[in-house]
Amino acid sequence: MTNASTITATLDHEETRLTKQRDDALALAKHKPTKVSLKALKKAETELSAFRSARESSGEQTFESLMDVVTFLDVEGWKISKSSAYEHKDAGKIRSNTSGKYSLSIVQEYARQHLQRKDGSVDPEATGLQTRKLEEEIRRISSDANMRDLKYRKEQGELIPREHVEVELAARAGDLKTHLDASVRSAATRIIKLVSGDIQKVPELISFMLGFNRKVLDNYSRPIQGPDEEEE
């Protein structure tokens, strides 16, 4: 491989990496549009755009017009026509740079993503992109199905919101505490009589038994924790 070919291959590899980084960031932003993911997407797009601009200024091959792009791709074995090229341009599938020209890297990416080979062969990079898009769609469909299932089970009464469970258990704990405390106070005198004890010690016995109640209710009245919150 000549030195020029080595440089070109290196640049192609870097652009492929930056393109994949942009595509991954885009997929994540679509799946989970948070401030972090959107910021990452903007950063990836900026890096890719800056690289392409620098590569173009360094002497990368460019095409003066869309018809030049059509001629080049036709020679390279891609299925393309003048009408389809203009339709793709209107749809934003291929864009020129600020000077109105089309860089080779942009043209090649456009072909990989939106065109087919005349001989029916499949470009490896295009296959990888299609695979990522398919995986993204599968994840989206799976997520939607899971959400629908959860909603259905909730409507059927199979699932109860965690907050509702905590409130319900707290209310039951309060009722249980009231009942136990009342039982201690009403039974203390009888307990002392049963063991022939000193009636004067009833307050001390009540205090002891109420303390026992508090200890029994301690674990019962604690907030419920999900699996991800439990200590290791």
The region of weakest confidence among 20-34, 74-88, 89-103 is: 89-103
For the chain, the domain total comes to: 2
Query: 177 in a domain, yes or no?
Result: yes
The last residue of one of the domains, among 12, 43, 60, is: 60
> Quick one: pLDDT at residue 230?
44
> Quick one: pLDDT at residue 4?
40
> Quick one: pLDDT at residue 83?
92
> Quick one: pLDDT at residue 3?
44
> Quick one: pLDDT at residue 103?
79
Tell me the C-alpha distance between 72 and 55, whole Å.
20
Task: Give how far Cα 140 sits from Cα of 37, 83, 128, 136, 148, Å.
Answer: 17, 34, 18, 6, 12
Q: Which helix or strand (DSSP H or E) is residue 213 part of?
A: helix 202-220
Note down the domain range covering 183.
Answer: 162-222
> Quick one: pLDDT at residue 98?
61
Query: 132 in a domain, yes or no?
Result: no
Cβ 88 vs Cβ 110: under 8 Å? yes
Query: 188 in a domain, yes or no?
Result: yes
Query: 7 in a domain, yes or no?
Result: yes
Helices (H), 58-114: 66-75, 82-90, 104-114
Query: 143 in a domain, yes or no?
Result: no
The mean per-residue pLDDT over the stretch 179-206 comes to 78
Query: 8 in a domain, yes or no?
Result: yes
Residue 178 has pLDDT above 70, yes or no: yes
CA angle 61, 130, 145 (to 5 degrees): 150
Cβ 26 vs Cβ 38: under 8 Å? no
Residue 128 has pLDDT above 60, yes or no: no
Query: 122 in a domain, yes or no?
Result: no
pTM of the model as a whole: 0.33
Query: 72 in a domain, yes or no?
Result: no
The last residue of one of the domains, among 44, 60, 76, is: 60
The mean per-residue pLDDT over the stretch 140-169 comes to 72
Contacts of residues 68-74 at CB distance under 8 Å and 24 or more positions apart, as own/partner, are 68/102, 69/94, 69/102, 69/107, 69/110, 72/107, 73/107, 73/111, 73/115
> Quick one: pLDDT at residue 2?
39
| pLDDT per residue as tens digits for the range 10-61 | 766 787 888 888 888 888 888 888 888 888 888 888 888 877 777 666 566 7
Share of the chain above pLDDT 70, in %: 74
Neighbours of 63 (CB within 10 A): 19
